[in-house]
Structure formats: C-alpha cells, structure tokens
Structure 1
Amino acid sequence: MPQDDTQYRLDDIDRRILYTLMRESRHTTAAAIAETVNVSGATVRNRICNLEEAGIISGYNAHIDFERAGGNLTNLYLCNVPVPEREALAHRARAIPGVINVRTLMTGRENLHVVAVGETTGDLQRVARKLSQLGIEIEDEDLVEDEFFSPYAPFDPDGDGEARAPEDVISLTGEANIVQITVDGSAPIVGQSLEEASAEGILDSDTLVIGIERDESELTPHGETVVQPDDIVTVLSRSPTDERTLETFRGTGTEAVDG
C-alpha cells in the first residue's frame, strides 16, 4: 500500500533516479543508474523500492504508436463533468473498451480528458456514446496525430553542471541545520576517520556527522569511522551551511549529489 504522501521527501538522488527512469526505463539497470548518480547499485535498488512503496513511481508503461501497430486511430475527448463526480466518472470512463488513458483536471471546463484507440471511426463513435451514457459531456474531440514524451528537466542529473546546495535540509532553532550530502570521491574527508578529520581541521567544530548511509546499511558514526566515497552523510551544522562545509564532503569543481 502506498505511504501517505507526506511521509516521503524526495532528495537529489531520488530525483536523478526518476529522471533516468523517465528517459528510458526498459533498458536502464540499477547498475547503470548507479554509475550516473554516483552511488552503489544496492542504494539505487533500495531507493526505487522506496519510491514504489510511496506511490511516487506508480508503474512502468510502454508508449505505443497505435497507427504503426495496425493503422489504429487515437482520439482525444475533452469532457466536462461535475466536480464532485469527477473521480468516480474517471474510473468508469477508464473501464470503457478502447479507452487507454483518463486524466482529471482540478477545475474549470474540460476537466476530464479521455484518450481512446479504435480501428475505425465507428469504434471511436461507440466510445463517445458510452461516455455520454455515463453523463459525461464531450465538449470537443480530435484525432491525435503524434505524442512526444520527455523526462522532467529539473530532475536532470547533468543540469547546468554547477554544484547545487543540498536540497534535503531541516532548519533547527538557533540557525542550526541538518543536511544530507553524498560524499564525492574527490572530497578531502574521504579516507579520513572523523577523529582525524576534526584534528586536521577538515571537519570544523561547528559540523557534526550524525548518520551515515552506506549501501543498504545505516551506520552510527563515531571517532574511528572512516568516510568513504558514495557515503550519504547526515550532518548537523551549528551554523548556516556554507560552501566550505559542503566542500568537505563534495570537494571542489564537481557536481555533487545530495542524499
């Protein structure tokens, strides 16, 4: 059962995984995504499972050119329905043979879009009659010539190539923040224990590592814990998070991934 939508917060790793799946899900393996996202394959598989359980990934659908598949016609019906009945009528419309997609809009006219496929115009007229029998008013309709899909650009892992501030940030009282950052291989803290990093000034006195996610394991950090590339660290910063804090875990000149 999907989790309540308030229980799952997307971070940058999730967004990059979603972007890759939207671009091409059929031939994309966890290992391939891991290489792009700069985390382990186990982490990717775990994240995808979490996204599915949360209902954020609701399915993997094939996009079919019905004209090439057999000369079939695809028709879009722009419909009006009473707002209180919108969801119920959408489910009933979806059950009509030939209907392949139903979209509800929040307000206004044409608040229900129905896409249907038929071998002939007679098939499409039959769908129109069925919609009308349900009490759905068809305001306009037209044949669909083509349809194009694109992944959501803000999730693009390549983006503008600039390092971005961590997006999973919890602000506490007194200007303190809790942030999650994925450790880059070039970061100065890599290979250092937390105790060594503090002694050498790599980790300043206002920054405390309070959690580490490594593959599918959650580690409780202590002084002897050695930070590794691809670790997803949870950091408590007692001062506003600045570039120096981020560079400790990301290095410089790299596009980092927030966890």
Structure 2
Amino acid sequence: MTNTNSNHRLDDIDRRILYALMQDGRNTTSSSIAETVNVSGATVRNRIHRLEERGIIRGYPAHIDFERAGGNLTNLYLCNVPVPEREALAHRARAIPGVVNVRTLMTGRRNLHVVAIGETTSDLQRIARNLSQLGIEIEDEDLVEDEFFSPYAPFNPDDSRSETPNDVISLTGEATIIQLTVRDAAPIVNYTLEEASRQGILDETILVIGIERDDTELTPHGDTVIQPDDIVTILSRNYTDDAELDVFRGPRTEAVNQ
C-alpha cells in the first residue's frame, strides 16, 4: 500500500532522480540515471522504489498522440463540482469509458478537469452526458491540440552543484548532519573507519552515522570498509568548510568562473 506521508524530505539524489524521470522516458533506465547522479544502479532502483512507496512518484504515463494513433479526438472538459464531493466525483468520472485523466483543483469554479478520448464527436457527447448524469456541471470544453511537458528546473542536476553535498542539516550546538556520495578517488576508499581514523585520514570531528550501499542501509562500525558510490551520512561537530569533506570526494576540480 502506498504511503502518502508528505513529510518525506528529498535530498539532492532524490531530486536528481526525479528530474531524470521527468525527462525523455526513453532514456530513463536505472543505469542512465545512475551515470547522471553518480551512484550505482541499485541505489537508483532503491530510491525510486522508496519514492513510489511514499506516493511522491505516482506513475509513469506515456505521452501519446491519440490523433496520430488512429485519428482519435482528445477533449478537455472544464467542470464545476461541490467542494465536499470533489474527490468522490473525480473517482466516478475516471470510471467513465474514454476518460483518461481527471484533475482536481482547489479553486471554487472549474475545479475539476476531465480529459477524454473519443473516436468521433458522438463519443465525446456520450462522455459529456455521463458526466452530467453524475451531477458534474460542464462549464466549458474544447479539443486538445497538443500538450507539452518539461522537467521541474530546481531538480536539475546542474554541473555547478556537482561538488556540493547531497544534503546538509544544521543542528543546535554547532553540529551538522551531511549526506554525500563517496567518489572513486576519495582518500577514505577501501579503508575501514577505524583505519581511516587511526591514520589521520578521517578527522576526529567527523562521525559516520549511516551508509547507504546499493539497496542496503548499513550501520557503520569500526571495521566497516568505505567503498566508492557509498552514500554516507556524517555528523560534523564544527562544519565550516566543504574542504573537510574531501576525504569522501577526493581532489576538487578548479572553479571555471574566475
């Protein structure tokens, strides 16, 4: 059962995955997303499953030109329904043969949008009658010529953000929780946490409190070996500069803009 809890906090990896899914569906395999996000394919699949369970990803409808696919007509009905009955009537409207999309709005008027497909105008008239029989008032309707989609720009994995942590949460007492992805060239790769601390690779002010590896959540211990593509959650007691995170990322590239 889908969990519709709206309190899920998206991190940068989640946002990048969602952006990729909103782009051309032909290229949104787990492997292609993994290359963009710089994590493993298993991590991408695990994140997508988690986003689906929380009701954030609600489906993957194909964008079909019904006119080209058999000469069908697409019609948009702008309807008015009583606010208390809006959700129930939306579900009943969706059950009408030919209806492919129902959208509820918070506005007082035209608060129900219904998209339907018909082979002829008679089909569209039948759908209009069925809507009216449900008690749905059709205020206006029109044939849909085309529809365009774009991914949500703030989720764009901009190259300028490639060296930033995946997520940063400031706590009281000057402590900070940071989540970031371990790079291949990171100094800590292939070391246990105990070894990294003993050899001075891992600063004593940084505590690794969580590791996400592929589809597994690991509890860090002294003998835990850090691997490339691990998503580590760390607690920093005096986080002031991203440079202290280079132990997980390796040498940083020089800024392009001067």
TM range (shorter): 0.7 to 0.9
CA contact (8 A) 2:79 2:110 kept: yes
| Aligned structure 1 segments of 4 or more residues deviating by more than 6 angstroms | none
Moved more, 200-209 or 80-89: 200-209
Q: For residues 153 and 238 of structure 2, what CA distance do their matches in structure 1 show?
A: 32
The residue that corresponds to 1:229 in the other structure is: 228
Moved more, 131-140 or 25-34: 25-34
Change (3 A) 1:22 1:145: same
Amino acid at match of 2:178: V
Deviation at 1:74, TM superposition (A): 0.7
Amino acid at match of 1:43: T
Q: TM-score, normalised by structure 2?
A: 0.86
Amino acid at match of 1:48: I
Q: For residues 184 and 136 of structure 2, what CA distance do their matches in structure 1 show?
A: 57
The residue that corresponds to 2:165 in the other structure is: 166
CA-based RMSD of the aligned residues comes to 2.5
Change (3 A) 1:108 1:245: farther
User: Quick check: 1:67 aligned with 2:30?
Assistant: no
Give unmatched runs, 5+ long, in structure 2: none
Deviations along 1:194-218, one digit per CA (max 9) or x if unpaired, are 3444455543232111222222333
Q: TM-score, normalised by structure 1?
A: 0.86
Moved more, 192-201 or 236-245: 192-201
**Count of residue pairs brought into register by the alignment:** 254
Q: For residues 6 and 156 of structure 2, what CA distance do their matches in structure 1 show?
A: 24
CA contact (8 A) 1:163 1:254 kept: no
Deviations along 1:109-137, one digit per CA (max 9) or x if unpaired, are 21111111111222212222222222222
The residue that corresponds to 2:106 in the other structure is: 106
Deviation at 1:13, TM superposition (A): 1.9
Give unmatched runs, 5+ long, in structure 1: none
CA contact (8 A) 1:177 1:241 kept: no
Deviations along 1:173-232, one digit per CA (max 9) or x if unpaired, are 202122211112233333444344445554323211122222233333344443221011
The residue that corresponds to 1:58 in the other structure is: 58
The residue that corresponds to 2:217 in the other structure is: 218
Q: For residues 72 and 39 of structure 1, what CA distance do their matches in structure 2 show?
A: 42
Task: Percent identity, please.
Answer: 75
**3-state SS of paired residue (1:227):** coil
